[in-house]
Amino acid sequence: MCQIYAGTEPARYDSEARSLRIRGYVTSIRLENEFWSILEEMADETASSTPELINTLYTEVHQNFGEVRNFTSFLRTACTIYLTRKEAAQPDTEPEQMRVASA
């Protein structure tokens, strides 16, 4: 089972810093490439760009909780919640490799 994870292409977990504007201020966010891909998918679903989605998320978190202490951790968590909800909405999405391993 570990090969499912250990065999992951390094490019997926390499990190990249991107410069963007949040609430009018230029900043940069460093995330692993896999998280950038998920954020891009989330943005596509909302018909917005990735920077627009990130700005919206920041604004909403700020409105709900005030100070945003660790925004990159929030983004990673949002990505995992998104994937969990997406998987829950699709019946029987267990990867073939996992079915074989558990048989």
22-53, pLDDT tens digit by residue?
999 999 999 999 999 999 999 999 999 999 99
Ramachandran sector of residue 92 (left: φ over 0; alpha: ψ -120 to 50; beta: rest): left
Q: What is the DSSP secondary structure assignment for residue 12, as one 8-state letter?
A: H
* Domain 8-91 in CATH 2.40.50.140: no
Segment 40-94, tens digit of pLDDT: 999 999 999 999 999 999 999 999 999 889 999 999 999 999 999 999 988 765 5
Q: Which two three-digit tokens encode residue 97?
A: 């490799």
- d(C-alpha 6, C-alpha 21), whole Å: 35
- Catalogue the E-assigned strands of 1-103: 15-22, 25-32
> Over the range 31-46, which residues count as b (16 or more CB within 10 Å of their CB) and which as e?
bbebbbebbeebbeee
* pTM, to two decimals: 0.81
